[in-house]
Every structure is written in structure tokens, then in C-alpha cells.
Structure 1
Amino acid sequence: MAEVKFLVVLPANPNESDRMSKLAIRGSLLQEPQQFSINFVNSPSCTDNITYHFKVKVPSQTIVENYKRNGEWSGSHQEKYLNIFDGKSYVKKPSESSIIDGIDAVLHYSFTESTFSLAFQFDYDNSTIIVYQVRGQGYNFVTKFETLFSLSEIQSIQVWGDVQKINEFSLSYD
């Protein structure tokens, strides 16, 4: 079974006028990632109710959106979206040579790093979450999801899957 790679419990806001309006997350994935997901969970200790499940199947660049109610997943909604990653691929230049069996051989290091940068905007009046890909100072629309639960029920954010590191996580409030 997969494990939670990153968990944030949101601060409780008794004042409804002071609620989360946007969440931004930027991170890097493991080498040859298969998938990762970001869950907007209604309880930090239980995943029976998930207001919004945003999953990316990396090889096919397929986005899967759905929710979980009383432990049961809804029917999946899928969209294709290309170029969601700011992938970087490079070969690190060696700093020294090695001699293997009397033959000079240069040590070669190479890897591909896939990074993601996403922003989730909350529309409480319409119970929707709008997802954007962040590129520099710009935002590219990815998808819009109408939630079954009230957005005010979200208590934590969980990141699952082939995530190596979360570089940035920020919350904005009204």
C-alpha cells in the first residue's frame, strides 16, 4: 500500500470570512515516476472522506479527478493534459576520470528530474476547485472540479505517490 509522502493539517478558522482561497504546491518527483496525487481530506487521521482527489498518471499525462465518500470512491473523471511538468533532463559533466582495467573511462552521471508546480483556487460559492499549472509568473488553466462536500470541510492536504520532495507549500486566505 502507498504511503503519505507529505501531510499538512490546516489551521482551524472559526471565522468563515477568513478561509483558504488558494493553495500552491511545487515539488519534484522520483526518477521514472508513475503517478502522484494530492488529496484534500476531511479528516487528518482518516481518508474515508476526500473532498478532492487530484491524481496525475505521469507516463500517459492523464489527470484523474474524483472524491471519496464513506470510504467509497466516486466514478473517475479523466482528462488528458500535456506539458504539466517542467521536466529537466541533463547529463552531469564528470569532474574526474577513472581507469577501469587499464582503459581510461569517464564517469557519466545522468538522470531526469520531473518537477511540478500547481495552484488550487477555491470557489466556496460554487463548491469548485480550479487547478492551474504555474509557469514562472503565469498560470495555465488545467481543470475545474465541482465538489460534493463543502470546501470548508477540508482539514488536511496529503501528497501520495512518486514524490521525492516538496519544495514549496503555501496557503493564501481571504
Structure 2
Amino acid sequence: MSDVKYVVVLPNNPEYDRVTEVAIRGTLLQEPQQFSINFVNSPSCTDNITYHFKVNIPSQKIIQNYKSDGEWSASEQQTVLNIFDEAAFSLEFKLDYENSSIRVHQRRGKGANYVTEYETFFSLSEIQSIQVWGDIKKINQFSLNYD
């Protein structure tokens, strides 16, 4: 996979509460193979990744796992039918701190379709940045919601 295409360092401001939702909308390169979104525990080091969400576009597989001390965990894979069949993508990641899980939805028009949910090894409060990797042409929107 290619280098990181987009990085956001999450604000560390006591006036804000925790990030509860991350929305990312973008376009893919022509004939994309894969892209991933990493919820990283340090903006300058990828040895610890709370959540790795990867899409293999030709096979329509989603791969989810985490990285601890530089070692990837076993991955969870699932096949979804034609959710990444367009040149654009729009994803929402909802962070549930109480259950230490992230729920993923895909936006289509005015609706949102459930994609997957993942229980994290690390606490969600350890996430310090979000990175987008792979066959991404452009990020059109990146937004954060707080509780």
C-alpha cells in the first residue's frame, strides 16, 4: 500500500469532550485497489493503532484489526456487496467509549447504511490522530463531532 495520503491530529483541548463521530468523504483513484483509515495512538508513530479499517475494493472485503507495539493483530475479514462500487466514498465512524467499539456507516444520499462494528483492544481515548492511506485521490470532507 502507498504512503499516507491524509493525516488529522485530533485536538487536545480540555474545552472539548471526546470525539464521538468522524466523517470522511473523498474520491478514489481510477481503478483503485485498496484504501485504509487508521485511528492511531500517536501522530508521529504507527506502532500502536487502535483501529485499522481497510477496504480491498476488487474483492469487496473489509479488513479490521489493530497494531500493538508494531505487531498487527489477527484480522477480521468480511465481504460486503458493492458498497465501494463508485469513484467516491463517504464513511462515518461512531466511537462508543463505554463499549470500546467503533461502528462504521456508509453515507448514500440522505441515508446511512450500517457496514461493520469493531471492539477495540486499546481504549478509544488513546486515539490521537487519524490517517488515510491507499488509492485516495482527494479528501473532500473531514469532520469531527464531540459529545
**Ranges in structure 1 where 5+ consecutive residues have no aligned partner:** 88-113
Q: Secondary structure at the match of 1:152?
A: helix
| CA shift for structure 1 position 139 | 1.0
| Displacement after TM superposition at 1:82 (Å) | 1.4
Residue 151 of structure 1 is matched in structure 2 by: 124
Q: Give me the whole-angstrom Cα distance separating, in 2, the residues matched to 1:3 and 1:151.
A: 24
| TM-score normalised by L of structure 1 | 0.82
Gaps of 5+ in 2: none
Listed one character per residue, the Cα deviations across residues 101-160 of structure 1 (whole Å, up to 9, x for unaligned) are xxxxxxxxxxxxx11100000000000000001111211100000000000100000000
The one-letter code sitting in structure 2 at the alignment partner of 1:122 is L
Secondary structure at 1:18 match in 2:
coil
**Alpha-carbon contact 1:9-1:155 (below 8 Å) kept:** yes
Amino acid aligned to 1:4: V
Identity rate of aligned residues, in percent? 69
Task: Pick the aligned partner of 1:132 from 105, 116, 122.
Answer: 105
Q: Write the deviation string for residues 55-83 of structure 1: whole angstroms up to 9, x where unpaired.
A: 00010010000000000000010011112
Whether contact under 8 Å (1:19, 1:173) holds in the other structure is yes
CA contact (8 A) 1:24 1:170 kept: yes
- Aligned twin of 1:12: 12
Local SS of the residue matching 1:142: strand
User: Which is higher, the Rg of structure 1 or of structure 2?
Assistant: 1
- Matched to 2:93, the amino acid is F
What is the number of residues matched between the two proteins?
Answer: 147
Tell me the SS of whatever aligns to 1:82: coil
Alpha-carbon distance between aligned partners in 2 of 1:129 and 1:7, rounded to the nearest angstrom: 19
Matched with 1:111 is none
Partner of 2:73: 74
The amino acid that maps onto 2:142 is F
Quote the offset at 1:86 in angstroms. 5.6
TM-fit CA distance, 1:84: 1.6
Contact 1:13 1:19 in 2 (8 A): no
CA contact (8 A) 2:46 2:70 kept: yes
Alignment-derived partner of residue 134 in structure 2: 161
Could you tell me how far apart the structure 2 residues matched to 1:115 and 1:85 are?
A: 8
Provide the alpha-carbon RMSD of the alignment: 1.3
Say which is worse superposed, 33-42 or 17-26, in terms of deviation: 17-26
Contact 1:40 1:154 in 2 (8 A): yes
Q: Match for 1:69: what amino acid?
A: S
Alignment of 1:27-38 (within 5 A): 27-38=26-37
Determine the structure 1 residue equivalent to 2:54: 55
Show structure 1 runs of 4+ deviating over 4 A.
none
Taking the aligned partners of 1:153 and 1:14, their CA distance within structure 2 comes to 15
